[in-house]
Copies of this chain bind each other. A is one copy, B any other.
Amino acid sequence: MKKLINDPNLVITEMLDGFVAAHSSSVKRVKNTTVVARKNAPVSGKVGIVSGGGSGHEPAHAGYVGEGMLDAAVSGEVFTSPTPDQVFEAIKAVDSGKGVLLVIKNYTGDVMNFEMAAELAEAEGIQVDQVVVNDDVAVEDSSFTTGRRGVAGTVFVHKLAGAMAETGASLEEVKQTAEKVVQHVRTMGVALSPCIMPSSGEESFELGDKEIEMGIGIHGEPGIEKKPLVFADEITSEMVERILPELELNENDEVAVMVNGMGATPEMELYIVNRKVHELLVEKSVTVSHTFVGEYMTSLEMAGCSITVLKVDDQLKELLDAPSQAPAFRI
C-alpha cells in the first residue's frame, strides 16, 4: 500500500481537519463529530439539507457543503455509513425551524442509520424528511443494497434540492424537487482497477491485467461482468445504451451529463469518454444542456468512470444554473 497518510485509524479526522483548514471561511466542523456544516448554519428561513455516507468518495460529501447545495455532510469511516448519532448531530446543526431533508444514497447501512437519526430528531421536535437516491442502473441488488445503488447522480440531487432550498421553499417542496431528480437521473460505472483500503492496505477486488468490471459500484462491489478492456468508445456506448432506455427520452428532450472519474483516471480519458457520450446523444437528437466532467463521487484511487444522465426540464435547468459556493461545485 502506498498512501500519503499517517495513522490509518485517523484518516477521516485528519482529512476533515485539512478540509476545514482549506475552507474555513465557509465551513465549520461541528465539535466532536465528523460533521462539516456551513459556517453560518443553521441558515434562518431555509430548509436544511444533510447528506453523507462512508468516506473515500471525496469530494463527496463535504465538498458539497456551501451556499446553494448542502448545509451539512456527515462522514463515516471509509466505505462505512456514519452512525445515527453523527447524522443526528448534523440534523441539529442545520435545523432553522423549517425542517431538514436527508439525502441518502441507497445502501442498506446508510438508509438504516439515517432513518434512525431522523427518529431521534423527530423525538426532539425537528421536522425531518428524506429522499433515497438509487440512480445506478447496473444491478438491482448488490452486496450492500436492496434495490439499486445510489452513486454519482446523488450530486445532482444535492445541487438541485440545494438550489430549491435557497429559494425559501418548504420542506415538502424541496423534497419534491429531490424526488423529481431521483426519478430522472441514471448512472452506470466501469472500473479499470480496484482501490486500496487504508485500514488493511488490501485491494478492494481483483481484476486481470487487461480486464475491466462493467457496472461497478462505488465501493468496489461487483457489477455486471468482468470483461476484456476494449476501446473507450465501445465501453462508453455500452454504458450509455444501458442508461438511456431507463429515461424514456424522446427527440429534442434535454439532459445534463456528468462524466465522473472514480479517482485515478486522468481527466484526458474522461474527456475522451465525454466526446462519445455527446456523439451518441446527438445521434438520438437529444440536447445536452449542461456537462460536468471531473471527480465528483470517487472510490479512493479506483481507476474508471461513471456516466450520469439527468433528464431536465426548464425548472431543473434553472436550478442547475443557480449559484453554488460549495468548494467542489462552484457555479
Hey, which bits of chain A sit against chain B, CB under 8 A?
2-6, 11, 14-19, 21-23, 55-56, 58-59, 63, 190, 192-193, 198, 209-210, 212, 229, 231-233, 235, 259, 263-276, 278, 288, 291-293, 295, 298, 300-301, 303-305, 330-331
Contacts and interface: CB of A to CB of B under 8 A. Distances in A.
Contacts of A212: 2
B268 A55 contact: yes
27 contacts: A2-B193, A2-B212, A4-B265, A4-B305, A5-B231, A6-B231, A11-B272, A14-B272, A14-B275, A15-B271, A15-B272, A17-B275, A18-B275, A18-B293, A19-B293, A21-B288, A21-B291, A22-B292, A56-B266, A59-B267, A63-B267, A198-B268, A263-B264, A264-B301, A264-B303, A267-B295, A295-B295
Per assembly, the copies of the chain total 2
Contacts of A330: 330-331
B4 A300 contact: no
Given A193-B2, A272-B11, A267 B303 contact: no
A11 B210 CA distance: 19
Nearest to A261: B295
A36 to B, nearest CB: 11
Contacts of A2: 192-193, 209-210, 212, 229, 303
A121 to B, nearest CB: 28
A271 B4 contact: no
Contacts of A209: 2
A318 B19 CA distance: 23
Contacts of A14: 271-272, 275
Nearest to A2: B192
Given A266-B263, A303-B301, A271 B18 contact: yes
B21 A266 contact: no
Contact of A266 (B16, B259, B273, B301): B301
A292 B330 CA distance: 13
Contacts of A190: 4
A58 B278 contact: no
A199 to B, nearest CB: 13
A20 to B, nearest CB: 9
A6 B232 contact: yes
The 4 closest A-B pairs by CB, nearest first: A18-B275, A18-B271, A264-B264, A58-B267
A69 B268 CA distance: 21
A100 B330 CA distance: 29
Nearest to A19: B271
Contacts of A274: 18-19, 21-22
Contacts of A295: 267, 295
